């Protein structure tokens, strides 16, 4: 379980959020510049909150004004908006960069149907394939939490729909908390067990989605 | 032009090579620290680093003479403690070359470290990689085309340095006579044939360096930007 309480001064407003994520998909929904990515960055340790508390499964990452666990040791899989694949490395080098076991990395590649791309470079594969490589790379580190920053925004409708199915399947399979940032209300309703609406750094409301997913 | 004294060629290469190594290491480290961080006084620090690029070389030479001269604090300190004098030695040639070529290396390295997506480094960090590993496996290879461009430009600049070298190192045959100095003093003594020889040699070296750099950069840029053929 992830506990988050972040207070951070941003350029135009004060970010102040508090929430809990269990083994579910929580969607952070809001307009551009409302502080969604900053929340992910604070949880991952890429950005520092002014004060607050961030803990995962009773391990305290950040408390008060001090970081207790460096970003390298937080065991968080982070899928960036543009995937941030290493452009000078092959797909296999990307996935094996932080892998815990070679077997898991190979299983993930089979699972995500990217086994045939092993020797390809990121510029040689499609957007949907890049996304699956990025998911495999994040999961190969055996993370205890998955952060997704608009992972489907660059994909066409068909690939996006496949990606949605994939995410729900993987979350059930891995049973870890997932936080996803999106602009799309339709996507939020489709994927989120809960949707948290954010405006200018503050929570507007939280919705439990009742409908069955996808 | 019966016998050609090639001392200026070897001296130029030796001093430019040593200066380039120094400039490359310090330039990369400094650019890596400064380029992607914001801190008070960054603009002033970068302006100081870039200053030798816009100042007349004689002003740089004057500054170095003031810093390392016999009567300067540093000059006296080096003499008293190590019995070592900078002025009128080949060390002075290296120092002058380092100072004038450093801005070119810094500028290229800073641009190289800024040009790729910072999230690729962040992704590596979240996968558990140390700062050292991220630098050698991500930052350095991705910045390499820009770093190499800086290295070649710095080497070419070091090879062609004249004004600051003349002021700090003087013209001592077989000790501080680099090619640019040799050209000047050959012309001064009316030996146009020898001066022409050195001029052609240095143009050929500079031209080859830039030609190779352009070819290499184009090849490397294509490598990362090529799109999927069947898309």
- Domains contained in chain B, CATH given: 7-178 (1.10.3720.10)
Q: Report the alpha-carbon distance of residue A80 to residue A77 in Å, rounded.
A: 10
Tokens encoding B147: 């770093």
Q: Report the alpha-carbon distance of residue B156 to residue B170 in Å, rounded.
A: 21
Work out the burial of residue A172: count CB atoms within 10 Å of its CB; fewer than 13 is exposed, 13-18 middle, 19 or more buried: exposed
pLDDT band at B223 (very low <50, low <70, confident <90, very high): low
Q: State the sign of the Cα–Cα–Cα–Cα dihedral B27, B32, B33, B37.
A: positive
Q: Report the alpha-carbon distance of residue B4 to residue B182 in Å, rounded.
A: 12
A75 CB neighbours in chain B (<8 A) are: 128
pLDDT at B228: 38
**In terms of DSSP H, where are the helices of A28-156?**
36-44, 91-96, 102-111, 127-139
Q: Report the alpha-carbon distance of residue A6 to residue A110 in Å, rounded.
A: 38
- Contact call for A123 and B128, based on CB within 8 A: no
Q: B133 to chain A: nearest residue by CA? A: A97
- Contact call for B126 and A97, based on CB within 8 A: no
pLDDT at B163: 92
Using left for φ > 0, alpha for ψ between -120 and 50, and beta otherwise, residue B128 falls in left
**In terms of DSSP H, where are the helices of B37-159?**
42-54, 57-68, 73-82, 90-115, 118-126, 131-134, 140-159
Work out the burial of residue B211: count CB atoms within 10 Å of its CB; fewer than 13 is exposed, 13-18 middle, 19 or more buried: exposed
Ranking A152-166, B33-47, B124-138 by mean pLDDT, the lowest is: A152-166
Region A110-133 average pLDDT = 91
Region A158-185 average pLDDT = 86
Q: Which residue has the tokens 């143009």?
A: B203
Helix (H) or strand (E) segment spanning residue A148: strand A145-149
State ipTM: 0.89
Q: Is the pLDDT of residue A171 over 50?
A: yes
Q: Report the alpha-carbon distance of residue A138 to residue A96 in Å, rounded.
A: 10
pLDDT band at B183 (very low <50, low <70, confident <90, very high): very high
Write out pLDDT tens, residues B148-165: 989 989 999 999 999 999
Kindly report the pTM of this predicted structure.
0.85
- Give the 3-state secondary structure percentages of chain A, helix then strand then coil, rounded to 5: 35, 30, 35
Percent of chain A with pLDDT over 70: 97
Percent of chain B with pLDDT over 70: 94
CA angle in degrees (0–180, nearest 5) for A38-A44-A50: 55
Ranking A121-130, A165-174, B81-90 by mean pLDDT, the lowest is: A165-174
Q: Residues for chain A: how many in total?
A: 214
Rounded to the nearest angstrom, the minimum Cα separation between B229 and chain A is 7
pLDDT at B1: 53
Write out pLDDT tens, residues B39-83: 899 999 999 999 999 999 999 999 999 999 888 999 899 988 988
Region A152-181 average pLDDT = 85
Burial track B123-134 (b if 16+ CB lie within 10 A, e otherwise): bbbbbbbeeebb
B122 CB neighbours in chain A (<8 A) are: 44, 46, 78, 80, 84
Region B84-98 average pLDDT = 92
Q: Report the alpha-carbon distance of residue B59 to residue A156 in Å, rounded.
A: 60
Write out pLDDT tens, residues A62-100: 999 999 999 999 999 999 988 999 999 999 999 999 998
The answer to whether the CB of A8 falls within 8 A of the CB of A15 is yes
Give the C-alpha distances (Å, rounded to integers) separating A164 from A145, A195, A208, B185. Answer: 18, 16, 18, 75
Pairing mode, strands A25-30 and A194-199 = parallel
Q: Report the alpha-carbon distance of residue B54 to residue B103 in Å, rounded.
A: 10
B120 CB neighbours in chain A (<8 A) are: 84-87
pLDDT at B226: 47
Region A31-59 average pLDDT = 92
The answer to whether the CB of A185 falls within 8 A of the CB of A29 is yes
Question: What residues of B are in the A interface, CB distance below 8 Å?
Answer: 116-117, 119-120, 122-130, 137-138, 141-142, 224-229, 231
- Contact call for A87 and B224, based on CB within 8 A: yes
Q: A123 to chain B: nearest residue by CA? A: B227
- Give the 3-state secondary structure percentages of chain B, helix then strand then coil, rounded to 5: 75, 0, 25
**Integer-rounded Cα radius of gyration of chain A:** 17
Q: Is the pLDDT of residue A213 over 70?
A: no
C-alpha B201: how far from chain center: 20
**In terms of DSSP H, where are the helices of A45-184?**
91-96, 102-111, 127-139, 157-174
pLDDT at B227: 41
Q: Report the alpha-carbon distance of residue B35 to residue B42 in Å, rounded.
A: 9
Alpha-carbon dihedral angle through residues B160, B164, B170, B175, given to the nearest 10 degrees: -40
Residue A27 sits at φ, ψ, to 5 deg, of -105, 130
- Contact call for B119 and A141, based on CB within 8 A: no
Residue in A84, A87, A126 nearest the CB of B228:
A126
Region A24-37 average pLDDT = 90
- Contact call for A46 and B120, based on CB within 8 A: no
Q: B139 to chain A: nearest residue by CA? A: A86
The SS3 of residue B55 is: coil
- Contact call for A44 and B126, based on CB within 8 A: yes
Q: B118 to chain A: nearest residue by CA? A: A84
- Contact call for B124 and A86, based on CB within 8 A: yes
Residue B128 sits at φ, ψ, to 5 deg, of 95, 5
- Contact call for A82 and B138, based on CB within 8 A: no
A141 CB neighbours in chain B (<8 A) are: 126-128
Considering only residues A153 and A51, tell me which one the structure prediction assigns the higher pLDDT.
A51
pLDDT band at B125 (very low <50, low <70, confident <90, very high): very high
pLDDT band at A170 (very low <50, low <70, confident <90, very high): confident
């Amino acid at each position: 379980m992830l506990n988050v309480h972040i207070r951070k001064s941003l350029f135009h407003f004060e970010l102040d959020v508090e929430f809990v994520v269990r083994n579910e998909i929580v969607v952070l929904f809001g307009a551009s510049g409302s502080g969604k990515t900053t929340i992910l960055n604070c949880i991952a340790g890429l950005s520092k909150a002014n004060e607050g508390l961030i803990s995962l499964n009773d391990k305290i990452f950040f408390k008060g004004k001090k970081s207790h666990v460096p970003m390298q040791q937080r065991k968080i899989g982070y899928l960036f908006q543009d995937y941030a694949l290493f452009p000078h490395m092959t797909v296999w080098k990307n996935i094996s960069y932080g892998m815990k076991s070679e077997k898991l990395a190979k299983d993930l590649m089979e699972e995500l149907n990217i086994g045939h791309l092993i020797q390809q470079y990121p510029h040689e594969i499609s957007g949907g394939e890049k996304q699956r490589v990025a998911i495999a790379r994040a999961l190969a580190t055996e993370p205890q939490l998955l952060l997704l920053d608009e992972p489907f925004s660059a994909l066409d409708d068909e690939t996006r729909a496949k990606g949605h199915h994939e995410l729900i399947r993987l979350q059930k399979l891995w049973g870890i908390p997932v936080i996803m940032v999106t602009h799309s209300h339709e996507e939020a309703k489709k994927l989120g067990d809960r949707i948290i609406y954010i405006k200018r750094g503050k929570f507007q409301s939280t919705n439990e989605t009742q409908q069955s997913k996808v | 032009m019966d016998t050609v004294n090639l001392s200026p060629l070897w001296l130029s290469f030796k001093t430019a090579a040593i200066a380039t190594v120094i400039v490359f290491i310090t330039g990369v480290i400094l650019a890596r620290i400064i380029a992607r961080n914001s801190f008070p006084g960054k603009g002033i620090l970068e302006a100081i680093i870039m200053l030798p690029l816009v100042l007349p070389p004689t002003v740089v030479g004057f500054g170095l003479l003031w810093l390392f001269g016999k009567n300067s604090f540093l000059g006296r300190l080096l003499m008293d403690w190590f019995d070592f004098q900078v002025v009128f030695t080949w060390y002075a040639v290296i120092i002058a070359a380092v100072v004038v070529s450093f801005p070119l290396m810094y500028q290229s390295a800073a641009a190289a470290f800024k040009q790729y997506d910072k999230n690729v480094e962040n992704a590596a960090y979240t996968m558990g990689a140390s700062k050292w590993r991220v630098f050698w496996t991500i930052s350095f290879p991705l910045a390499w085309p820009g770093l190499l461009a800086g290295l070649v430009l710095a080497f070419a600049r070091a090879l062609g340095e004249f004004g600051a070298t003349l002021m700090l190192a003087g013209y001592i045959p077989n000790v501080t006579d680099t090619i640019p100095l040799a050209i000047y003093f050959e012309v001064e003594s009316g030996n146009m044939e020898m001066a022409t020889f050195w001029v052609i040699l240095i143009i050929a070296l500079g031209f080859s360096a830039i030609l190779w750099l352009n070819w290499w950069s184009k090849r490397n840029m294509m490598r990362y930007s090529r799109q999927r053929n069947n898309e």
